Structure 1
Amino acid sequence: MSARLSRRRFLGLAGGAGVLLAAGMITPRLLRADSPGTGELLRSKVPLPEPFRVPLPVPPVLRPHRTDGADHYTITQRAATAEILPGIRTPIWGYNGIFPGPTIESRRDRTVVVRHRNELPVPTVVHLHGGHTPAEHDGYPTDLLMPVSGWNGGHGGHDMYDAKANITYGSRDYVFPLRQRAATLWYHDHRMDFTGPAVYRGLAGFHLVRDEEENALGLPSGERELPLMIGDRAFDEHGAFAYPALDPLLRSIPGVEPGYVEGVFGDVILVNGAPWPVHEVAAARYRLRLLNGSNARRYDLALDPPPPGGGGFVQIGSDQGLLGAPRVHDHIPLAPAERYDVIVDFGRYPTGTEVTVLNRLGTGSTAQVMRFVVTRKARDDSRIPAKLSDLAPLSREQATVTRDFAFTAGQVHGRTGWVIGGEPFAPDRMDARPRLGDTEIWRFVADVHHPVHLHLVGFHILSRGSGPPNPFDGGLKDTVDLSPGEAVEVIARFEDYRGRFVFHCHNAEHEDMAMMANFEVV
């Protein structure tokens, strides 16, 4: 869309939800702002386990195999099986053969080099989500890492030729300078047209960045710091992940069966790869790094029972690190790819209390997420300072350009899909060229639910509709949740790295069906 679009015209586009209704693509149920997202439920064909029986797993922390001027890691992408549902073996694709993949913990401004070896039967791409990363290591969707066994399936699902693609074979080094604040990042597959099914099969893991500013705060740490990747899945009659891919081999035909074009919801809620797990805690503060790793499902998390006096979640961070000051919430909305860094004080509950994490957007099996059991009293030396970080937001006056983008349904290569500004993704089309060092305002409008993610930059949310940001919009973000018919403005500074990057909807089915666009920092 033109960067010259008036604000009045832009806000008028927020009525674009009618486009989908007129096309007969979706039902009004999916247009509600309080729905679990834009998608369709896929039901499991095996008996589901009772909730709160499986212990919460915590992904192992990967150690570098070499440390010099950088920290060097090796990860092998390979097929494996895992016991996700009790007594059933589920085939997965995993980083080091596990789901979620191993956690990498890094230091701010210290370079990390991760060598990925692809032993899967298809090409892959690794994106460090939230990473401030040079273009050649950011995981551009056509920069394929080919399998060690070879590949003859072309460059992409629509066999788009990309003359700029950086193709490697067998293994590849991804270099992350990490010139950024402490934050909860995650890494996942980003292959063009096939991100959704690859992540659904298990290709996702945490990457935590730490720094001295955060370490000095006295926040809960050690066993009282829990990364929690929340995702939904469905299982077929054999216990495998059920996913309605048009091409189950993920070789050539992108997309999903027509009934799931809006997105895929599962009926099993997993946390760190376990169904509705349970975790014993002390009567003390715990830091929960919440990540929505679902393809399409949104969550609204609440504690049952709430602690006396309410305010069960104290938010200390957002996608890109610490807030300026804590914010107290009774619930936490979580769109695909969003992260919330929160503290829950289990010392506010009597010993023996069972605290269930509810999903207020779920029904039936998706209405609960996990459970904590307060089992013992304990000393707690942690604290939540009134000031967390010096976080100076960007102002409108600093922006040199304003750009407008509409996220809507559209035609993609003769099929129903999803587009930005009326255009499906194409590697050779550039939708924005911000100048290095410049600050810009980007305005998004959505027809249905679209969690919009920008690579390279963090941004501040300036407005929603004609009003201010909501109470959950604080801090530096890289993903913003748009509700049906909603318009949002964000402001970002494009610094440090030139090159080609993408922005896209993080409903993975929308992304795979072309809701992605390029920008080039020049």
Structure 2
Amino acid sequence: MRDGEEMTRRQILGIGGALGVMAVTGLSAAAALSRRPAATGAELRSAVPLPRPFQVPLPIPSVLAPVGRTGGADRYAITQREVTAEILPGVRTRLWTYGGTFPGPTIESRRGRPVTVTHRNELPVPTVVHLHGGRTPAASDGYPTDLVVPEGWHRAGPGARGDGARGDGAHGGHGMPGHGMDMGAGMSAHDPRAVTTEVTRDYTFPLDQRPALLWYHDHRMDFTAPAIWRGLAGLHIVRDDAEDALGLPSGPRELPLMIADRAFAEDGSLDYPSLDPALRDRPGVREPYAAGVLGDVILVNGAPWPVHEVDAARYRLRVLNGSNARHYELAFEDAGDGRSYDFLQIGADQGLLAGPVTHRSLPVAPAERYDLVVDFSRMPVGTLVRLVNRLGSGRTRDVMAFRVARKAADTSRVPRVLSTDLPAWRREDAVRVRDFAFRAGRTGDGGTHGWLIGGRAFDPTRTDVTVRHGDTEVWRLVADVHHPVHLHLSGFRILSRGGEAPLPHDAGLKDTISLRPGESAEILTRFDAYRGRYLFHCHNAEHEDMGMMANLEVI
């Protein structure tokens, strides 16, 4: 990566679709990959009987009530704990949860009204909480070495990473040896800036940002992927008066949908190919799953292939791809004759678009969120509408279904103008251009394989990029295989893909961009929120754990 390449306004205007020598080389090396299907990783096969689709009602995550309100701020409390729950009918599964449920409880908040969430860790390993999509001060952003350790962790036996308040829980094993994914063989580093707390930690979110669907999840270094897989994920919705006044579908006709894939072992537990199932000592997954872990069961809000009864009316669907590595291309199909229905996209990762965009299908990469409106009044009562994944096959092609149950009055609307507060950033405002290559490669003295940014695996002690507060920059990204690239703290606009215009679903303000195999892209962002240490990384969670993460320092 080129850190801090200064550009004149004329040079910036001349960038256009040109990606420079680095990106051209990356595209040449990855050209053959561009024809591969949109799947990354290997699929686990469940060892228990799986239910027929569209039998289980869609659960709606509960909305968490604040435990206190003081000084114009709301305070919440969440306990991270292990529970046994029924995900597959008749099967008991152990989960790591926020508040005892998967997904965790939804937090609903108002724009500009601060929220403090006290997390208590009663799990057997350290945790870190990241509010994905939040404009959050660095101290509460969930840096991977800012651990909340369980009681007695520093007194635990051999292999217990961490040393109480000194923050020695920081470590990094990003090697990918050719005969098994032993990441413990890679780089190991102590992070002198880590802030470790015992049992509890307060995370404060100012929420001075556009209304949007955010989500919170574990972000512990080297173990993010298995922790999310076990259940550490939940939704956070930010609202404001301007959005409320639009007349969009609301109440029971606004549905949050966290889509995620999982696999189940013979005893009903969640199957995952960890080298260390205790998630204590040895990061990594077995070699066949190094590119990402896929499950053969599609869950929506924690239920397998659920069904939801709807009125013949408009519905707002707040969609999150909460999968570790699985990509989706979502479409709505009539279960009877197979016809597909169009739908409206009204929002992206960071809130409402300027105006609605019509789609027949929608690609959704891990960690991306899309705000959709589906008009079920166009379908006869009794119709079963399947939400399908056109990238899936067999059981993984089905996601969930909607049954149009009754005629009903509908006063909702979708205005042609949805938002007027999108940032007015321009390419010519950029003071700097940076190049980043997201690729597999070799790293470390042993020459082990890893997922790398700019040829380097993540090191918490190294500053990879330094930006000035208030600066606007163009970032040029190139990938070898699928990489959903997430930028902490700041949203961005997608300027181009492969030197051409962005795709229709790229509209609006994003915080995660799905780079397809061999693809290049340009994004435009401004660092005008907070100062401090942040991250950008691939949100294929296995890639992230295996080194595809970098430090961003805002000064």
Same fold by TM-score, threshold 0.5 exceeded? yes
State the partner residue of 1:57.
Answer: 59
Instruction: Measure the CA separation in 2 of the matches of 1:330 and 1:13.
Output: 34
Which of 72, 87, 90 is residue 90 of structure 2 equivalent to?
87
State the partner residue of 1:294.
Answer: 323
State the partner residue of 2:438.
Answer: 407
Which of 75, 91, 103 is residue 100 of structure 1 equivalent to?
103
State the partner residue of 2:2.
Answer: 2
1:332 to 2:362 alignment: yes
Instruction: Measure the CA separation in 2 of the matches of 1:429 and 1:373.
Output: 53
Matches within 5 A, 1:373-392: 373-390=403-420, 391-392=422-423
Q: Secondary structure at the match of 1:472?
A: helix
State the partner residue of 1:39.
Answer: 41
Matches within 5 A, 1:320-399: 320-390=350-420, 391-399=422-430
State the partner residue of 1:312.
Answer: 342
Q: Structure 1's 345 and 34: CA in aligned 2 closer, same or farther, altered over 3 A?
A: farther
TM-score (norm 1): 0.95
Q: Does structure 1 conserve the Cα–Cα contact (< 8 Å) formed by 2:347 and 2:372? A: yes
Which of 205, 227, 245 is residue 256 of structure 2 equivalent to?
227
The AA in structure 2 aligned to 1:520 is E
Deviation string, structure 1 residues 240-298 (Cα, Å, up to 9, x no partner):
11100111110121111111110001000000000000000000000000000000000
Per the TM alignment, residue 431 of structure 1 is displaced from its structure 2 partner at its CA by 1.6
Matches within 5 A, 1:105-504: 105-151=108-154, 152-154=160-162, 155=169, 156-158=171-173, 159-305=188-334, 312-390=342-420, 391-413=422-444, 414=446, 415-504=448-537
Q: Does structure 2 conserve the Cα–Cα contact (< 8 Å) formed by 1:16 and 1:447? A: no
The AA in structure 2 aligned to 1:291 is L
Q: Does structure 2 conserve the Cα–Cα contact (< 8 Å) formed by 1:263 and 1:509? A: yes
Instruction: Measure the CA separation in 1 of the matches of 2:370 and 2:536.
Output: 21
Per the TM alignment, residue 33 of structure 1 is displaced from its structure 2 partner at its CA by 5.4
Instruction: Measure the CA separation in 1 of the matches of 2:394 and 2:313.
Output: 31
Per the TM alignment, residue 88 of structure 1 is displaced from its structure 2 partner at its CA by 0.3
Mark the runs of 5 or more structure 1 residues left unpaired by the alignment: 20-27
Q: Secondary structure at the match of 1:72?
A: strand
Q: Does structure 2 conserve the Cα–Cα contact (< 8 Å) formed by 1:16 and 1:446? A: no
Per the TM alignment, residue 430 of structure 1 is displaced from its structure 2 partner at its CA by 1.3
The AA in structure 2 aligned to 1:341 is D
Q: Secondary structure at the match of 1:259?
A: helix
Q: Does structure 2 conserve the Cα–Cα contact (< 8 Å) formed by 1:33 and 1:483? A: no
Q: Does structure 2 conserve the Cα–Cα contact (< 8 Å) formed by 1:81 and 1:90? A: yes
Q: Does structure 1 conserve the Cα–Cα contact (< 8 Å) formed by 2:27 and 2:520? A: no
The AA in structure 2 aligned to 1:229 is M
Instruction: Measure the CA separation in 2 of the matches of 1:501 and 1:204.
Output: 20
Q: Secondary structure at the match of 2:79?
A: strand
Q: Does structure 1 conserve the Cα–Cα contact (< 8 Å) formed by 2:442 and 2:450? A: yes
Per the TM alignment, residue 410 of structure 1 is displaced from its structure 2 partner at its CA by 1.7
Q: Does structure 2 conserve the Cα–Cα contact (< 8 Å) formed by 1:17 and 1:448? A: no
Per the TM alignment, residue 38 of structure 1 is displaced from its structure 2 partner at its CA by 1.4
Instruction: Measure the CA separation in 2 of the matches of 1:196 and 1:462.
Output: 30
State the partner residue of 1:23.
Answer: none
Per the TM alignment, residue 457 of structure 1 is displaced from its structure 2 partner at its CA by 0.3
State the partner residue of 2:69.
Answer: 67
Q: Does structure 1 conserve the Cα–Cα contact (< 8 Å) formed by 2:38 and 2:482? A: no
TM-score (norm 2): 0.90
Q: Secondary structure at the match of 2:399?
A: strand
Q: Does structure 2 conserve the Cα–Cα contact (< 8 Å) formed by 1:119 and 1:149? A: no
The AA in structure 1 aligned to 2:46 is S
Q: Does structure 1 conserve the Cα–Cα contact (< 8 Å) formed by 2:490 and 2:529? A: no
The AA in structure 1 aligned to 2:400 is M
Deviates more, 1:424-433 or 1:118-127: 424-433
Mark the runs of 5 or more structure 2 residues left unpaired by the alignment: 7-17, 155-159, 163-168, 174-187
Per the TM alignment, residue 2 of structure 1 is displaced from its structure 2 partner at its CA by 1.4
Q: Structure 1's 33 and 115: CA in aligned 2 closer, same or farther, altered over 3 A?
A: farther
Instruction: Measure the CA separation in 2 of the matches of 1:487 and 1:64.
Output: 44
1:508 to 2:527 alignment: no
Deviation string, structure 1 residues 183-208 (Cα, Å, up to 9, x no partner):
00000000000000000000000000
Quote the RMSD (CA, aligned, Å): 1.7
Per the TM alignment, residue 7 of structure 1 is displaced from its structure 2 partner at its CA by 2.9
Per the TM alignment, residue 311 of structure 1 is displaced from its structure 2 partner at its CA by 5.5
Instruction: Measure the CA separation in 2 of the matches of 1:294 and 1:33.
Output: 23
Per the TM alignment, residue 106 of structure 1 is displaced from its structure 2 partner at its CA by 0.4
Instruction: Measure the CA separation in 1 of the matches of 2:414 and 2:208.
Output: 25
